[in-house]
Structure 1
């Protein structure tokens, strides 16, 4: 999943007026703060050897100050508005803030600490105020509007025209047409939301860490391998510590034979932010309420209606219609799977009703029985670095011709981070990639991609991109083995990275992944398809000890089990997506007395609670996508883009499959286009027509 680091700044890429920056910095001692000047490292990569916690706050404040001055200069200009003195100047209105915030918000999510948390709390409302100072500035909007109204006569190139349209639309969406008194109310809402989302993220991080389970009796961990036990061992705490991942279900539930241990882990996950000292229920109610009030102020019935304006879905009813088309088939298949698992429980001589904490354990038994496939059989063939270099990178080389070289001379923010330089087929430099794969207490849950440096021909910048995951780290000396789900996550996140690396835009705010939420997941999900392609799989699925390729018999089993548990998978996703939309289609005057009751009713009314043992992938209280990140009223996008990616792979299969020609065409027509043209049209131009849902239903085993 992609982390949207600049939520508060919407789609403005904060780059700066050079004169203002030089004038301001001439009065500052830049030697004491490396963030106040461009990095001297390759690709302007951040110099983590020099950057300290103390540098962030003054650099962020200086960046905010510089952008405010630049924006005021544009807004108060006596010159007739032109593209250069208004739109281009706005696009250049804060390079310092962009550079600093890219690094700072990377660390708030991937490697935070108490100092960073304090700065984050202080800066969040200031960034919100800056955003309002731009988008609610009447004089500035009038200049943009004047240009927009005569855009046809400006004779702009297509990307410059798109930039003008993008700014105008963003101003309107942000509330530029409101009266002065309503703008003041909106500013208050925005500041409150900035503070609350920061509070939610920090509270949830504490909840995740506090929710870790300490087991002191090894018998309770029966079913785990020796390597798993070693990785969980915590001598200082006198036992084995099981950390929580951000999803409802936890990976070890698949292996643990002790039912009470499974229940303990599941309930710790389920209740991590409900009824504990890190309870988020009141925070999420307040966020949802303020978002609804903000939408009403802007003239919309609910927050989702306001939020979906520039997406492919466009309206909440289109999202709900998608749900209605999928829920019956998904829950029917999930019920069949539940019945099958219940039979397995009975066959094992057990006498209890299937519960959520039992599902993965007994589903694994069913999978072994039906497909003779054991996760422990395949893990030895998935060693992290081999998967990365001979799988993820190899697929990119075959499709797009790019090559990779590890760099050990580039400073990183944590010792686990790997760095690679990317090259075009002709040897030209393409960018830098950082991979941060292991879980730790300083990192939030989940997986994501973002930029340290965004591609831009305007500034002659090549991309510097990072992927962050939360795989279990083995103890020293043990192989770094992955589950197949982990493998798919690596392919997924690198799909986002490719979208960023292949960006070919003049303007940074239109570059790469700066697209609608329900399109941004398309390249990443599409890239997952290559994980099981025969040519790719046999190249990277090598036994960590013997070096032997994975046997064809195991490959066949993996593929045959591809539709296994898909009813569960789709239903848990639909449940989370539905919760998101339900929270964001409330009215401003709706009274939500209890978040748990709201959640239950949201699932009941949409018939997503009919299969008792299938909980939502994320419960509301720890749904960081929607309450702490940029996916509010947007989690549906994973399902929306799933339709696109299966349809796209179907095109590849019908047109020669894994070839350089097909890869280059996809790069040229999709991955390199950023947000420069209408996304629906972009897809149709490449595909030769509208996407079809049948390939998705087939892949899910629903057809």
Structure 2
């Protein structure tokens, strides 16, 4: 085997030969894959025969299959198990990949052939017509119609942006690891249970720290342990470390990168004929314009800020003094206990990770769609912690592989996400391989993995993305699975969260890890009663981040920002969300979603999709809930469609009408 990335895998489901993969394989594989696609594209563009869907659009889909496969493995490795060496490869190849994409989307002969196929679209079936439209739109948005000078500048911008976003991610990961908070005195961590202490000790050993305990930082501003830690000084140390990421002079300073990325995106938007980057992004989303995005965010932000202030008043009454951001979670948990007579920590013994996954997440999918999951210990994965499951349909047909990478490690970027290692598009004849990656703190050997409420919710959420891929029946790779508008992609995953607390599902997985006793009904009742507790804070911190994202990407071409902190403070003040006790979920220098993760001008997508999600939950409740009939309807109209038709058209086919916002307002206490 010369290069496991270039050879067709002989493993079941086409699983890559991870056991043979070495760092030195990536560069030659990326070079070869780009070269092969360039040759294929030139052949398509110079084909002397008249352009047809088959010799132009389908040929383009086939031309990138190898590069898609190689980059999927490369970027999955970069995100989940990075090293200085792979970071250097990313810094080198991200700009090269950007230039390669530009050489295709700005190829004049190729665009002419796409336009010719588009003009003859009446003879195509619906999926082929929609695919042609997607190519035409993509090429126009990438500058295919610009003159040579503008295209040259666009290529320079894209290459620089690729390099800068790569550096942003590398800085953030390095600073997150560097700022992990060390403790020697057990008393400083008073309030943590044996499981959390075990995790902190394991983190210290993994990092070879001289300290006894290390508290690693999650991607969001707030740390889940802030609700448990009794000492204000400890809470403040953790909060300060979290908020400092990427914002200090030195090697990991992300402030110059944030400013430059925003400026370049604004300049690119101007070249393409848009007022700003947000306008360029939303023009190809279901939102269609920044004005519609701002209308929704502003409609919600005033009520959310009001609710957060009322919550803050209650917390300060309880505390007897003003509270800082680092204190909010602690006093909020005390208030929850006082009002609902239960602590969030009471839930964890009933949320053992394996049981949640198999008897909760997989069980709900089986009840809805008839699919089954079978662990495959014989197939290699990209890390020793990763588990591999074969997924089969209700009739035994193969659907693909699901890889689950649960635990946090210093080499993994923060957050949770779904990747695809291999498309299941029928045109290419392969099986889907999808990955869910989380950052659950890993306990010491022999200790159970007990999840928080939010971690269970994340498990259901990310598996919703996996289902969107595994159940897609789209023929073409560009339309397969989660290749939908960014402000629609969160919709199926958010819908899947509803099953976490659905009675039949909760009853099936929520069992005490030691005794096997089911979660007592009294605790279930208290959990359900407290679901809206703290919603003002949760909505405000999210909206603050979403509006901050919009502010950065509303800069006009040529507009400069001198001070990141001053700009951020002004943006939050303009939105009425400048409450020091409620910081944004992500501040600019560690806002990976928008400066490194592809959600630029699109972080609003979560709340935008939640309008559809909340309305869909109402539909399931009205129609009997967790049934195969309901699951099959959602699968047929939404999940299997992928991106093969307009997203809101798919929603209307599912719901029978457009979405209504009232269910969302009720859910978040914003009526």
Question: TM-score, normalised to structure 1's length?
Answer: 0.94
Distance 2:535 2:445 in 1: 35
CA contact (8 A) 2:259 2:560 kept: no
1:386 to 352, 355, 359: 355
Q: Which runs of 4+ in 1 moved over 3 A?
A: none
**Residue 491 of structure 2: aligned partner:** 522
* 1:253 to 2:235 alignment: no
**Residue 280 of structure 1: aligned partner:** 254
**Residue 84 of structure 1: aligned partner:** 54
Residue 446 of structure 2: SS of its match in structure 1?
coil
Distance 2:554 2:448 in 1: 47
Distance 2:280 2:346 in 1: 48
**Residue 413 of structure 1: aligned partner:** 382
> In terms of mean alpha carbon deviation, does 408-417 or 661-670 score higher?
408-417
Distance 1:123 1:51 in 2: 18
1:680 to 628, 632, 648: 648
**Residue 482 of structure 2: aligned partner:** 513
**Residue 7 of structure 2: aligned partner:** 37
Distance 1:636 1:376 in 2: 31
* 1:48 to 2:22 alignment: no
**Residue 655 of structure 1: aligned partner:** 623
2:613 to 645, 659, 662: 645
Task: Provide the aligned C-alpha RMSD in A.
Answer: 1.0
* 1:614 to 2:587 alignment: no
Residue 473 of structure 1: SS of its match in structure 2?
coil
Deviation at 1:417, TM superposition (A): 0.8
Count of residue pairs the alignment pairs up: 665
Distance 1:378 1:299 in 2: 53
**Residue 511 of structure 2: aligned partner:** 542
**Residue 240 of structure 2: aligned partner:** 267
* 1:404 to 2:373 alignment: yes
1:332 to 303, 306, 311: 306
CA contact (8 A) 2:300 2:670 kept: no
Residue 434 of structure 1: SS of its match in structure 2?
strand
Deviation at 1:276, TM superposition (A): 4.5
Cα shift readout 1:580-636 (whole Å, capped 9, x = no counterpart): 010001011212111111100000111111x33100000010000000011000000
Distance 2:64 2:363 in 1: 38
Distance 1:465 1:116 in 2: 22
Cα shift readout 1:518-552 (whole Å, capped 9, x = no counterpart): 10000000000000000000100011001111011
**Residue 161 of structure 2: aligned partner:** 193
> In terms of mean alpha carbon deviation, does 536-545 or 76-85 score higher?
76-85
Cα shift readout 1:5-45 (whole Å, capped 9, x = no counterpart): xxxxxxxxxxxxxxxxxxxxxxxxxx221111111111111
**Residue 601 of structure 1: aligned partner:** 570
**Residue 431 of structure 1: aligned partner:** 400
1:368 to 337, 344, 347: 337
Distance 1:554 1:38 in 2: 52
Cα shift readout 1:186-239 (whole Å, capped 9, x = no counterpart): 101011101101111111110111110111122111111122112212365132
Equivalent positions of 1:435-454 (< 5 A) are 435-454=404-423
* 1:422 to 2:391 alignment: yes
Residue 225 of structure 2: SS of its match in structure 1?
helix
Residue 304 of structure 2: SS of its match in structure 1?
helix
**Residue 45 of structure 2: aligned partner:** 75
* 1:578 to 2:547 alignment: yes
**Residue 316 of structure 2: aligned partner:** 342
2:275 to 291, 298, 301: 301
**Residue 189 of structure 2: aligned partner:** 221
**Residue 629 of structure 1: aligned partner:** 597
* 1:563 to 2:537 alignment: no
Deviation at 1:243, TM superposition (A): 0.6
1:97 to 42, 67, 72: 67
Residue 449 of structure 1: SS of its match in structure 2?
strand
Distance 1:61 1:612 in 2: 49
Residue 428 of structure 2: SS of its match in structure 1?
coil
Distance 2:414 2:437 in 1: 10
* 1:206 to 2:191 alignment: no
Deviation at 1:439, TM superposition (A): 0.5
**Residue 694 of structure 1: aligned partner:** 662
* 1:135 to 2:105 alignment: yes
Distance 1:99 1:324 in 2: 41
Cα shift readout 1:281-331 (whole Å, capped 9, x = no counterpart): 000100000000000011111001011122110100000000121011101
Cα shift readout 1:469-511 (whole Å, capped 9, x = no counterpart): 0011111111100001000000000000000011001111100
Equivalent positions of 1:10-29 (< 5 A) are none
Distance 1:250 1:360 in 2: 9
**Residue 138 of structure 2: aligned partner:** 170
**Residue 325 of structure 2: aligned partner:** 356
1:492 to 461, 465, 479: 461
Distance 2:133 2:558 in 1: 34
Deviation at 1:701, TM superposition (A): 2.0
Distance 2:264 2:398 in 1: 46
CA contact (8 A) 2:72 2:421 kept: yes
Deviation at 1:95, TM superposition (A): 2.3
Distance 2:72 2:44 in 1: 24
Distance 2:577 2:637 in 1: 38
Distance 2:232 2:517 in 1: 36
Deviation at 1:442, TM superposition (A): 0.5
Distance 2:393 2:270 in 1: 49
Distance 2:505 2:633 in 1: 20
Distance 1:130 1:536 in 2: 47
Unaligned runs of 5+ in 1: 1-30, 347-351
Distance 1:238 1:269 in 2: 19
Distance 2:342 2:535 in 1: 16
